[in-house]
Each structure stands twice: as C-alpha cells, then as structure tokens.
Amino acid sequence: MADTPKVRFDNRVAIVTGAGGGLGRSHALLLAERGAKVVVNDLGGAVDGSGSDTKAADKVVEEIKAAGGEAVASYDGVDTFEGAQKIVATAKDAFGRIDIVVNNAGILRDVSFKKMTEDDWNRVLKVHLYGTMFVSKAAWEALRENGFGRIVNTTSAAGLYGNFGQANYSAAKMGIVGLSKTLAQEGGKYDIKCNVIAPVAKSRMTETIMPPEALEKLLPERVSALVGYLCSEQLQETGQVYAAGGGYIARVAVVEGAGVRIGGDLTPEQVVESWEQINDHSKAQPFQNAMEAAGAALKG
C-alpha cells in the first residue's frame, strides 16, 4: 500500500449533481479534499422532485471552503438541457474549465405499474436518464477539447435487476448503463472515461425503505472512495459498472451464455428442445460493444 500513488485532483474542476446531501455531498467533499475545484449542484427540491431551495448546495459549499477547498454552488435543475448548460457555464465562469462530471441527481416517484401515471414516468426519466445525458452533453465538447475527462454516472440495483414499484426508476437507471457504455466508446480517443456506479448508501431516497441499523453501515463515504478512483488520472477502465456499498465493491457485467446454434429452418419446437442450453450461463462472457455481440450470431 505504501507504493500506491496518492489519488489527487489538483488543477481539476469537477461538477457533482445532486450534491446538497447524501452521496452527492460525500462525492463533492472527497473531490474537494483532494484538490479539485467543485461545482456543487443541487436544485434543493423534495425527494419527489417538487420545490427548490438554495440552502442545500450553499451548505456543502461552506463545508468545502471551511476545510480549505474551492467550490461554488449551482441551483439549476438537470432535467432540461438549458439547466445543464447553466451548470457547465458555472464551472467555466468560476474555474475556467471542466474535467470531471459526477451525475448523481435523482428523484423518486415509487408506485406500482398499474397505478403509475404518465407524469410519474416522465418526471423520473427526465431527472435520471435525461439529466445524465443533458449534463454529459453540455460538458462533452469541453472534455474533448481538454483531451481528458472522467464521467461517473449512477445506476442502481433496481435498474440492473428490477424492483417492485419502480418501473420508472428502473427503466431510467438501466438506460443510464447503455448511455454510459456508448459514451465510453465515443470518448475513448479523447481520454474521456465513463463508468457507472450502483450504490447502496444512506440517503433521503433509502431512509424510507431501509431500517436505521442497516443504514448506519451504509455511509455514503463508503461509496465515494470508488468514485474518487473513477475520477482519477490513474484510471484505465471505461464503460464498466461497479456495485458499491458498506465497503463492498464489485464489477457488474451484462453477460451472454455460450448458447446453441440450430441449423436449418428454425422452429419453436427446436427452441424448446434446446432451452436448457440456451439458458446455460456456465460459459457466459461479457462483450465489449454491440457489434461484438452481434458477431456471435454470425459465427458458424
């Protein structure tokens, strides 16, 4: 451990959305503590996305400054491209550049699919999926010009595996995975690395569904260490998903089994006969991109 280079962000500028509390606050504090100049973005609304307040972002900025760091507040919503452009403009106006984007902002509108309204669906996708795209898009050209960029996006176990009452949230969160994998490929030659975290941590969004004794083991700081590495110059990986919580960190992958190749005119009955092999994951592997995955169907 003594030979491990210190992860630092001196002369780097970071945007952290949803940074007024919970995970976002923790990410912002870690980046600032290690030398980054930070835009603390938070609309200051309720968990369901209603309302706004400047106090949340201001408080975190004060914490960073009190510790000797540099930060400015941003109160713009991520759910419009105009808002995202203002967030990026805040970074450029205050610090002259942008190097790191941590897309963390989110809301919840949990309800069973039967009772879900169009507004419940649209609002959650706007903040999570569109918000991640909007802020990344607003920063993209600056990162390309830098020849350096680190984007950390936020999915969840609900997106990866589904969760009752969260069809909107799950759809948005899995969409973020697909978006991130494409940004990783398109950003590669500009040293823009884009990875995804699936955190489990104490926050406004988990306090209503997890017992207090569990939440005390899931402090946000136990996730932010991973975010720190994913924002660093040392980072080599891109397009990956990592689960994190309570000190546990693991890479998550979409994999495809070895499958079965059926010749001739394929019939439903042949599918039935091969069903066990089709579902066998004993030789499963991840693919690096969609074309590689498509190639598996062309072999033989």
* Nearest to 154, CA basis, from 23, 47, 44: 23
Name the CA dihedral angle for 26, 31, 37, 38, rounded to a multiple of 10 degrees. Answer: -30
Q: What whole-number distance in Å separates Cα of residue 84 and Cα of residue 186?
A: 20
- Provide the 10 A C-beta neighbour count for residue 52: 14
Would you please indicate which residues are annotated as catalytic (active-site) residues? 169
For residue 251 the two structure tokens come to 């890479």
Sheet strand arrangement including 37-41: 70-74, 37-41, 13-17, 100-103, 149-154, 192-199, 241-245, 248-252
Give CA separation, 272 vs 235, 261, 264, 276, 298, in Å.
45, 13, 15, 8, 22
H or E element in which residue 243 lies: strand 241-245
* Nearest to 77, CA basis, from 123, 29, 12, 141: 123
